[in-house]
Structure 1
Amino acid sequence: MSSQAPDAGRTVLTITLPGDAALERRYTLDELAALPHSTLRSPMPDERHIHEWLGVRLSTLLEGIDRDGAKRLRIEALNDYSALIPLSDLDAYEPILAYRRDGQSLGIAERGPLFVIYPMVDYPELRTQLYFNRTVWQVSRITLE
């Protein structure tokens, strides 16, 4: 893993609302790192080793956005994988959009630069395929649906 992220000045995340392009938000890694952050401990979906993750709560990214009528987030990855996360998960588990693992920035080869992480150490019941599917790596876009 590299200590300096190559994507620091490039847009790495776009948040969109269908039908309202004026509310589209774009973030660089530097801009994400400037937001209030959270740390949590969780394994990667395919391993047992516990990592320390640093990132922004998904709920923080949605602050100031009218969520009336929305029920979920569509999280899209660079490889066209997508997963649906119910908005109720944001309050119940406070998942984060991580940009550092064990103190290191995440390059694309390390499944970065952004990774949705749930607090699976605090909530062992999340260690199921349903939540592993919601643990999306190489996140590039979030759409409120």
Structure 2
Amino acid sequence: MAADHRKHSALCAWALRTLLCAVPLLLVSHVAQALDKPTGPVVLTVEGNISAPNQGAKAQFDMPMLEKLPQHTFTTRTPWYPDAVTFTGPLLRDVLAAAGSKGNAITAVALNDYKTEIPMDDVHRHEVIVARLMNNRPMPIREKGPLFIIYPFDTKTELRTELYYNRAAWQLNALRIR
């Protein structure tokens, strides 16, 4: 009986130590998930139905913040270039996750006020990226930059349609979540 009690006490002590060590780690990991504030020029603002703002009610990103997100690269043909082009950037769903997006529709807004509606379903069904590089180079504004929402058009026949071409947005500067 005494041996069982010692084993139980030792097990309880181990569980308590484990819990006391885990709580600070959980708190630190939660803090690490917070969206940093941009230190350079803001290139993208996410607003609307979000839970992780870093500037008032908005989530703002500078280019280094977008570069820190996991990067994805694909080559695809588009209606806007004569040859296939290689695009690199974070997945749109990763950008939205960083901002704590909770909506079901996105309005992408370009520098020239062009607006396009993107269903949230696209973000989960397709590897849509917020391209920051084209052919391994940053995109100046005159070349559809600095950001370009682009679909991997060559991966699925359904994406090579006017519907999806119209959902692409170059010179992107804002995402409105509803």
Q: Same fold (TM over 0.5)?
A: yes
Q: Which has the higher strand share?
A: 1
Report if the CA contact (8 A) 1:42-1:117 is conserved.
no
Instruction: Please name the residue that 1:17 is paired with.
Output: 48
Q: Which has the higher helix share?
A: 2
Superimposed CA distance per residue, residues 15-49 of structure 1 (whole angstroms, 9 cap, x where no aligned partner): 00159874411111121111111111222332341
Residues 1:87 and 2:87 are matched in the alignment: no
Q: Which runs of 5+ in 1 are unaligned?
A: 1-7
The 5-angstrom pairing of residues 70-85 of structure 1 reads: 70-85=103-118
Residues 1:119 and 2:160 are matched in the alignment: no
Report if the CA contact (8 A) 2:78-2:153 is conserved.
no
In 1, distance between residues paired with 2:176 and 2:87? 23
Aligned length: 136
Higher relative contact order (CA 8 A, sep 6+): 1
**What amino acid is aligned across from residue 45 of structure 1 in structure 2?**
P
Q: CA deviation at 1:63?
A: 1.3
In 1, distance between residues paired with 2:159 and 2:82? 14
Q: Which runs of 5+ in 2 are unaligned?
A: 1-38
Q: Extract structure 1 runs of 4+ deviating beyond 3 A.
A: 18-23
Instruction: Please name the residue that 1:109 is paired with.
Output: 142
The 5-angstrom pairing of residues 120-139 of structure 1 reads: 120-139=153-172
TM-score, reference length from structure 1:
0.85
Q: CA deviation at 1:66?
A: 4.9
Instruction: Please name the residue that 1:29 is paired with.
Output: 63
Instruction: Please name the residue that 2:32 is paired with.
Output: none
In structure 2, the CA distance between the partners of 1:30 and 1:19, relative to structure 1 (3 Å rule), is: closer
Superimposed CA distance per residue, residues 25-80 of structure 1 (whole angstroms, 9 cap, x where no aligned partner): 1111121111111111222332341111101111001215251xx22110000000
CA RMSD of aligned residues (A): 2.0
**What amino acid is aligned across from residue 110 of structure 1 in structure 2?**
E
How many percent identity over aligned positions? 31
Report if the CA contact (8 A) 1:95-1:119 is conserved.
yes
